[in-house]
Structure 1
Amino acid sequence: MGEWGFLRSVFDNLQAHSPMLGRFWLFLMLMFRILILGTVASDLFEDEQLEFTCNTLQPGCKQVCYDKAFPISQYRFWVFHIVLIATPSIVFLLYATHQNKKKALRPKSRRSSIQNYQDDRRLRRLYIINVIFRIIAEVAFLVAQCKLYSFKVPAQYPCDRFPCPYTVDCFTSRPMEKTIFLYFYFGVGVLSAFSSIVELFYSSIKWFCCNQEDFDLEDRACKNLQNFRQDESGKKTI
Structure 2
Amino acid sequence: MDWKTLQALLSGVNKYSTAFGRIWLSIVFVFRVLVYVVAAERVWGDEQKDFDCNTKQPGCTNVCYDHYFPISHIRLWALQLIFVTCPSLLVIMHVAYREDRERKNREKNGENCPKLYSNTGKKHGGLWWTYILSLFFKLTIEIVFLYLLHWMWDSFDLPRLVKCSNVDPCPNIVDCYIARPTEKKVFTYFMVGASSLCIVLTVCEIFYLIFKRVVRRMRNWGKTSSKPSVTYSKASTCRCHIKLEQQDSRVKNKHLDALRASAPNLTLI
TM-score by length of 1: 0.82
How big is the shift at 1:138? 1.6
Q: Among residues 137, 141, 145, which one is paired with 1:141 in the alignment?
A: 145
Counterpart residue type for residue 176 of structure 1: T
Q: Report if aligned partners of 1:151, 1:183 keep a CA contact under 8 Å in 2.
A: yes
| CA separation of 1:38 and 1:111: change in aligned 2, threshold 3 A | closer
Three-state SS of the structure 1 residue aligned to 2:176 is: strand
Q: Is the 8 A contact 2:99 2:120 kept in 1?
A: no
Partner of 1:232: none
Deviation at 1:136, TM superposition (A): 1.6
After superposition, the C-alpha distances for 1:25-81 in whole angstroms (9 at most, x for unaligned) are 101110011010011001111221111111112111111100111111111111111
Q: CA RMSD in A?
A: 3.1
Larger Rg: 2
- More helix per residue: 1
Partner of 1:199: 205
For structure 1, the 5+ residue unaligned runs are 225-237
Does the 8 Å contact 2:160/2:177 carry over to 1? yes
Q: Is the 8 A contact 1:4 1:38 kept in 2?
A: no
1:173 maps to 2:179:
yes
Question: Aligned equivalents of 2:176 and 2:51: distance in 1?
Answer: 7
Counterpart position of 1:183? 189
> Distance in 2 between the 1:62 and 1:206 partners?
57
Q: Distance in 1 between matches of 2:179 and 2:118?
A: 62
Q: Distance in 1 between matches of 2:213 and 2:200?
A: 20
Which residue pairs with 1:152 in the alignment? 157
CA displacement 1:73-113 (0-9 Å, x = unmatched)? 11111111111111211222222223234335544544635
**Do the aligned partners of residues 203 and 53 (structure 1) sit closer, same or farther apart at CA in structure 2, a change above 3 Å counting?**
same
Does the aligned pair in 1 maintain the 2:51–2:176 contact within 8 Å?
A: yes
* Per-residue CA distance 1:160-199 (angstroms, 9 max, x = gap): 2100123111111110011101111111111110110000
Query: For residues 58-207 of structure 1, what are the structure 2 equivalents within 5 Å?
Result: 58-104=57-103, 106-107=105-106, 108-110=112-114, 112-113=116-117, 120-149=124-153, 150-160=155-165, 161-207=167-213
What is the aligned length? Answer: 224
Q: Equivalents in 1 of 2:11, 2:119: separation in Å?
A: 27
Change (3 A) 1:181 1:72: same
Q: CA deviation at 1:20?
A: 0.8
Ranges in structure 2 where 5+ consecutive residues have no aligned partner: 107-111, 231-243, 245-269
Structure 2 letter corresponding to 1:89? S
Q: Percent identity?
A: 29
Partners of 2:134 and 2:151 lie apart in 1 by 26
Counterpart Cα distance in 2 of 1:59 and 1:17: 56
- The 10-residue stretch of structure 1 (51-60 or 23-32) with the greater mean CA deviation from structure 2: 51-60
Distance 1:4 1:215 in 2: 47
Query: 1:112 aligns to what SS in structure 2?
Result: coil
> Matches of 2:222 and 2:121 in 1, distance apart?
14
Counterpart contact for 2:102–2:117, Cα < 8 Å:
no
Displacement after TM superposition at 1:120 (Å): 3.5
The residue type equivalent to 2:174 in the other structure is V
In structure 2, do the counterparts of structure 1 residues 145 and 114 end up closer, same or farther at CA, with 3 Å as the change threshold? Answer: same
- TM-score, length-normalised on structure 2? 0.73
